Amino acid sequence: MAEILDGAWVRRQIFDELKPRVGRLAGAGRPPGLAVVLVGDDPASAIYVRNKQKACADLGIYSEKLTPPASIGTDELLALIDGLNRRDEIDGILVQMPLPKHIDSRRILEAVDPGKDADGFHPSNVGNLVAGRPAPRACTPAGVMDMLHRYKIPIAGKRAVVAGRSDIVGKPMALLLLHADATVTVCHSKTVNLAEECSRADLLVAAIGRPAMFDARYIKPGAVVVDVGMNRVDRREDVERIFRGRADRLAAFDKKGSVLVGDVDPIDVADRASAYTPVPGGVGVLTVTMLMANTVGLAERRR
């Protein structure tokens, strides 16, 4: 039977390790400080920000939420970021994405002080990742690596396939695996014979954003499968097709009108993989966890 890689178990371990570090910083003068900038009133973004603030409260990290209106311009938002860069009690800055279309997102992300870049998205920190130098790492890939290490899943010498090439997940994931001595192939929606490429992987990371796309054809028997996808499915026929007789998931759909589904077929992965991350309950909970770890690390470096 495949081993389920439990994100909540990993999160508890990381939080237990972070709490004394936060306590030492607070005892030396003040706790770490995280500022989250939430532009406008996108409901999904608001939920993410609430989860981040709750994690800060659980750890004793000072958090501050700034909520400029959706009508704010790029120059005004740049001025707000500049103010946060100058504030000594703020160790980490996160700009919640996506921003309204009229705002130049690249200019905003590049305006964050690299020494306060809690998301690890600044070009300077991406460069540090490429060079293997210490710096905050993109949270989701960093969480995946932490999970693999804590479950003692071997990476060195393994054939890893990362399906997805986003700046937030795919590219940093590939670099982190490369630094861990995996042989890495990066695939994407334009890859020829994608299923064939994925089926060679000892370690498959699925991050393309299509519900249950990676079925048995994509999964090598005995592979470790990391599902980064978070897709909301709101048609009953799709839920029936994906979960094939799972009464609990159909009941959840009937109650809520939708269910979360990863990029990996949940039935096939349980049959073929040696270990895998479920959705929900796998990688998703680690993104905020690693944001906390980045914030604490930034505070320690700034002291």
Q: Is the peptide bond before 68 cis (omega within 30 degrees of 0)?
A: no
In the annotation, is 52 catalytic? yes
Q: Which residue of the set 52, 116, 158, 220 is catalytic?
A: 52
Identify whether 248 is a catalytic site residue.
no
Catalytic residue among 91, 113, 117, 119: 119
Residues 6+ apart with CB under 8 A from 148: 155, 203, 224, 226
Q: Tokens in use for 138?
A: 């993109």
96 is a catalytic site residue: yes
Contact call for residues 245 and 251 (beta carbons, < 8 A): no
Active-site residue (options: 96, 158, 220, 265) = 96
Instruction: Give the residue numbers marked as catalytic.
Output: 52, 96, 119
